[in-house]
Chains A and B, each alone.
Chain A
Amino acid sequence: MALQSLDIVRRSATTTASPNVRAPSTVGQVAKLIDTTKCIGCKACQVACSEWNELRDEIGTNVGAYQNPHDLTDQSWTLMRFAEYENPAKGGDLEWLIRKDGCMHCADPGCLKACPAPGAIVQYANGIVDFQEENCIGCGYCIAGCPFDVPRISKRDKKAYKCTLCSDRVAVGLEPACIKSCPTGALVWGTKEDMQEHAAERVEDLKSRGFEHAGLYDPPGVGGTHVMYVLHHADQPQIYNDLPADPQISPMVGLWKGAAKPIALAGIVLTALAGFFHYIRVGRNETHESDEEAAARETEKASHE
């Protein structure tokens, strides 16, 4: 839904300015901090997301793991991913790494860059990247654009869905539903600055407890994110169910939805103009009476051979 109480700084497939008279600088940049070191994997956040957003995923099958459902879907916008990691530095000790997966709300969103439908994806001044399904045409380009494999096309209406960071709640001063439900304080909500400060304290504490590679995951390749992680092993994010180490918009997407667009459009227009001015300067290539006569002579000759 178009949330007019939130200022829009970027709008997909739009070449003119977005509505932004309400000076975005006065709006705080929000962030959700997910402290994986405090998470107990209770899935309250998944339930809260489902409750608030009125989503009901299909009941799946148990394959002997806690992760349920198995993947993000149009009905599951957040998902606890469970990884059983045997830490070689600690003699193969088992560590249960639980990561709440979902949209990262990139400052430089690949989905928005790839989207061809005007206004189907917007970025609010507070940093939230939101899909406006009424403008979505269902092409799935956002899936190709996303460095985190987050958007999902619904089988029901063929539109793309993902975590909204509860933009409807945030717009009226509430925290996202998942934050409200977290029983351990693993999910924290506030301005991006506050969350970075809070994370720094957590990282310091973790380091004093022997997690020397503890750190904040706020990947610069996508301009930072408005969903950040505190990781015990920030040096190897990929052990958390393939969290990308250096996510960025793929150069392929950059080419396809960046330089290629104006160059190709100009190329087509120039080709057409070249034809027009060829006509103006050189004119048409016509067949004259002399050509017909020459052809007639040859035809005559051939018929008498």
Chain B
Amino acid sequence: MNDMTRDRQPPAIERYNANERTNHWFVVIAFLLTAVSGLALFHPALFWLSALLGGGTWTRILHPFLGLVMAAAFAWLAATMWKFNKMEPRDWQWLRKSKDVVVNKHEESVTDVGRYNGGQKLMFITLVVCVAGLLLSGIVLWREYFSMYFAVGVVRFAAVVHGVCAFVLVCAIVIHIYAAFWVKGSIDAMTRGTVTPGWAWKHHRTWFREKIHATHPRTRPD
């Protein structure tokens, strides 16, 4: 810390530790493979994506297993992030002012933001619901092992649920990726693990204060 002060570099604040980052990027890889294979089967215009997994038949074979891997890895990630993503009154307040945030204006007027803002929490909840929906409907649709245990009406309903959840999930992830790029410094948080104090102060001020008080506890003898 002292070295960094001497270099006039602001001390970095840890946002994601190595395990969290590994977990996140594992989910990313599993998601990309699952999404590519799923989209190939969803619309004929995207069937060419099946070539990336070794053809149509391999896509059909691999997609459900990839989905299971993604769901398991995401479940782990969601479990570690669950406690930070409960909606609170201040999150609804943030959402009411989010119009300004989206156009990069007056973000300083919404100061009470914890580790995640209202938008991020809604994203988290959306992802949890979609992955759960995809997992359950995907089991019903898995012809090789499970579909025969369900009535055809249930299989058809599962196909619609699977399609709707996948659509919402893919759109949500597109937003998630863009938002990470848009708010400069966020990608560093998930690759290097740290953010600058200014980033934390600007975007997550309450979390920033928790962090600095944790680093400089009030009970310090000085």
Instruction: Name A's B-contacting residues (CB within 8 A).
Output: 13-15, 116-118, 135, 137-141, 143-144, 149, 153, 158, 250, 252-253, 255-256, 260-262, 264-265, 267-268, 271-272, 275, 278-279, 282-289, 291-296, 298-299, 302-305
Contacts of A13 in B (CB 8 A): 44, 47
Interface size on B, residues (CB 8 A): 62
Residue of B nearest to A284 (CB): B184
- Docked CA distance A118–B55 (Å): 12
Query: Smallest Cβ distance from B67 to chain A, in angstroms?
Result: 14
Q: Give 27 pairs: A residue, B residue, CB < 8 Å, sorted on A.
A: A116-B41, A137-B57, A140-B143, A140-B144, A141-B159, A143-B152, A252-B153, A252-B157, A252-B159, A252-B160, A256-B159, A256-B163, A261-B43, A264-B163, A265-B46, A267-B167, A268-B174, A271-B175, A275-B175, A275-B178, A278-B102, A282-B104, A284-B184, A285-B182, A287-B196, A287-B198, A294-B198
Query: Smallest Cβ distance from B160 to chain A, in angstroms?
Result: 5
**B126 within 8 A of partner (CB):** no
**B209 within 8 A of partner (CB):** yes
**B147 within 8 A of partner (CB):** yes
Contacts of A140 in B (CB 8 A): 143-144, 147
Contacts of A275 in B (CB 8 A): 174-175, 177-178, 182
Contact A268 B170 (CB under 8 A): yes
Contacts of B201 in A (CB 8 A): 291-292, 294-295, 298
Q: Given A271-B174, A286-B184, is A153 in contact with B197 using a C-beta cutoff of 8 Å?
A: no
Contact B174 A272 (CB under 8 A): yes
Task: Determine which of B160, B167, B183 lies in contact with A285 in the assembled complex, contact meaning CB atoms within 8 Å.
Answer: B183
Give per-residue flags for B199-222: 1 if the beta carbon is below 8 A from chain A beta carbons, else 0: 111110000110011011010001
Query: Smallest Cβ distance from B53 to chain A, in angstroms?
Result: 11
Contacts of B171 in A (CB 8 A): 267-268, 271
**B79 within 8 A of partner (CB):** no
**B119 within 8 A of partner (CB):** no
Contact A264 B42 (CB under 8 A): yes
Contacts of A265 in B (CB 8 A): 43, 45-46
Task: Determine which of B50, B102, B216 lies in contact with A303 in the assembled complex, contact meaning CB atoms within 8 Å.
Answer: B216
Task: Determine which of B46, B60, B167, B216 lies in contact with A137 in the assembled complex, contact meaning CB atoms within 8 Å.
Answer: B60
Task: Determine which of A144, A282, A299, A302 lies in contact with B159 in the assembled complex, contact meaning CB atoms within 8 Å.
Answer: A144
Nearest first, the 5 A-B pairs at minimum CB distance are: A140-B143, A275-B178, A292-B198, A295-B197, A291-B198
Contact A287 B41 (CB under 8 A): no
